[in-house]
A and B are shown apart, each in its own frame.
Chain A
Amino acid sequence: MSRLWAAALAALALALGVLPFAANDYLVATGLSLLMWLALTQSWCVLSKMTGYVSLGHVVFYGMGAYLVVVTWQRWPLALAVPAAGIVAALFAALVGLPVLRVRGPYFVILTFGLAELVRYALVAYEAASGTASRILFGAPDLVVIYFAMYALAVGATVLLALVARSRFGHGLRSLRENEEAAETVGVPVVGYKLAAFVLSAAIPGMVGGVMALRSTYFVVDQVFDPMISVTVIAMALLGGGDGPRGPVLGTLFLFTLSQLLWAHAPLAYMLILGTVLVVFVLVAPNGIVGLFETARERRRLGALAREPV
């Protein structure tokens, strides 16, 4: 399976890599969107899949990154602003991480949502008070440049999750997901590890937000903190399933392709069908696409065992 997987992944990376040279602007923009979702979903998994702390506020890092790039527009070079966006998001995570991660389970889910909304409305109120309800941005780089920046971020996020998943750090995270108290008792530094996962998961979305801000000529703060972004990321990760980067790639591809097809052919029923797909998936494939593959493989293995002569 893993050689097949590696080949498939390489093919995908290649296809996405040559897309800007082979297709029109519309397709490139579509590819950009796919890469954005890949980067966001993989980075979410670094925290939420590995530790079990499900965050419903992932968009907050994206929004902060976008805001930083916009407010430094034309004053800072982009080569500085975009990495700074990632750093600001990571610093924010480092700052609030300790108290936030003391909260567990469903409390954590709603807390992260509340935190993202708090930052959102605080910035909206601030912008309204300072008189800049919206901004017009001129002179953004070419689509192809933006595309390859996002490509790098998507690859980076995938590599990050892969490295974390197979590292000692990742094993520690998995243990604390399974039983936090027991993990601490066998020596896993749970407080520090959770915080590290949180900070790591924040940097890339910050830069993703910064890069995507370059796409909009007309910027409104409210839009870059849209909670639907957080929800979509969760859906893509859970539909994919699994414990490493494989699941999110599958889940993102699946949901993204589905939404593009529906949008093109059945826009009215789009949301209805999407909702139905989510419901059916949770009932039929609770461990995601990866779970389906694993169940099929298990069945084949048991079937082969049953057929062996006794």
Chain B
Amino acid sequence: MTLPLLAVRGVGKRFGGLSALADVSLKVAEGETVGIMGANGAGKTTLFGLIAGNLRPTTGSIDYAGRPITGLSPDRVCRLGIGRTFQIVKPFPALTVLENLRTAAMFGHAALRDVRAADRHGLAILDELGLADVADRSAATLTLSGQKRLEVARAVATGARLVLLDEVMAGLTATEVAAMLETLDRLRSSRRLTLLVIEHVMRALMEFCDRIVVLHHGERIAAGTPAEIGRDPRVLEVYFGA
């Protein structure tokens, strides 16, 4: 059996007296798309923070491509090949859309130190995300939908093999969701990405993910294919009180 790209083992996080995550484990194989599902406060974004290095786990360990990354700083984790988006978008407001990607391409896993190479790399990604025509506009002037796309583009521009997508569908209309799903599908095959996806939009989870992991109050309560999860009694109870 090949090594999983990401292995999270018994990870927990406490903030003072509050336990945000307790004993969560999961494995992601290369090329997979795994969805993370759960009510607000279930610990999903905390999990992303732990993987990406923004937070340090209180217990447990995280391995990426066979090497331990627990407690490494976010920039080191990025250089190893993990990219992430933020639930509340964090663009570089005064920089142009292209310059936002330039930073990612130059400093991320891709490490394209030459500005022109970095920009070529960035423009190709902008093209795939439908942002090519706003490349020279400052990031602050984009609409929310545009900024969410920029967030995804920037994470991909780091050259990451594993990308953590945190609720990229939130706030989008049904049409925009369909378009984004299509774009992400193309992106993941053209760049051979492994994805970890936090979503509330059911369609994104069911149609887009190979497997789903369900969190509740910081603990993992279920995991399996979308069909299995749709039938799982614990999940149904938590979500529908059934």
Contact = CB atoms under 8 A, between A and B. Distances in A.
Do A and B contact each other directly (Cβ–Cβ < 8 Å)? yes
Interface of A: 168, 171-172, 174-175, 178-179, 181-191
Contacts of B106: 168, 171-172
Which of A168, A181, A182, A189 is the most central at the interface, judged by chain B CB atoms within 10 Å of its CB? A182
A178 B93 contact: yes
Interface in B84-107: 84, 86, 90-95, 99, 102-104, 106-107
A222 to B, nearest CB: 40
B91 A187 contact: no
Given A168-B113, A174-B95, A183 B52 contact: no
B15 to A, nearest CB: 17
Contact of A181 (B54, B78, B83, B107): B54
B90 A181 contact: yes
13 contacts: A171-B99, A171-B103, A178-B91, A178-B94, A182-B91, A184-B78, A185-B52, A185-B78, A186-B83, A186-B155, A187-B75, A187-B79, A187-B104
A179 B91 contact: yes
Contacts of A183: 92, 103, 107
A287 B109 CA distance: 35
B12 interface: no
Contacts of B107: 172, 175, 183, 186-189
B78 A175 contact: no
B158 interface: yes
Interface of B: 52, 54, 73-75, 78-79, 83-84, 86, 90-95, 99, 102-104, 106-109, 113, 115, 154-155, 157-158
Given A175-B107, A186-B155, 18 more contacts: A168-B106, A172-B103, A178-B92, A178-B95, A179-B93, A181-B86, A181-B90, A182-B86, A183-B92, A185-B83, A185-B84, A185-B86, A186-B108, A186-B158, A187-B75, A187-B107, A187-B108, A189-B75
Contacts of B93: 178-179
Nearest to B104: A186
Contact of A175 (B92, B109, B113, B158): B92
A212 B147 CA distance: 50
Contacts of B115: 168
Nearest to A184: B74
Contacts of A187: 75, 78-79, 104, 107-109, 158
A168 B104 CA distance: 12
Contacts, number: 76
B92 A182 contact: yes
Interchain residue pairs A-B with the least CB separation, the first 4? A187-B107, A178-B92, A182-B90, A187-B78
Contacts of B95: 174-175, 178
A187 B100 CA distance: 12
A289 to B, nearest CB: 19
A179 B79 contact: no
Nearest to A172: B107
A266 to B, nearest CB: 39
Given A185-B84, A186-B78, A179 B90 contact: yes
A179 B78 contact: no
A55 to B, nearest CB: 20
A172 B73 CA distance: 16
B75 A184 contact: yes
Nearest to A192: B75
A184 B73 contact: yes
Nearest to B90: A182
Nearest to A191: B73
B186 to A, nearest CB: 22
A186 B103 CA distance: 7
Contacts of A191: 73
A188 B74 CA distance: 9
Contacts of B90: 179, 181-182, 185
Given A182-B86, A185-B84, A175 B103 contact: yes
Given A168-B113, A174-B95, A178-B94, A185 B54 contact: yes
Contacts of B154: 182, 186
Contacts of B84: 185
A147 to B, nearest CB: 38
Which of A171, A181, A186, A189 is the most central at the interface, judged by chain B CB atoms within 10 Å of its CB? A186
Contact of A185 (B74, B102, B113): B74
A171 B74 CA distance: 18
Contacts of A186: 78, 83, 103-104, 107-108, 154-155, 157-158
Contacts of B158: 186-187
Given A185-B54, A186-B107, A179 B92 contact: yes
A172 B86 CA distance: 19
Contacts of A179: 90-93
Contacts of B91: 178-179, 182
Contacts of A168: 106, 113, 115
Nearest to B82: A185
A119 to B, nearest CB: 31
Contacts of A189: 73, 75, 107
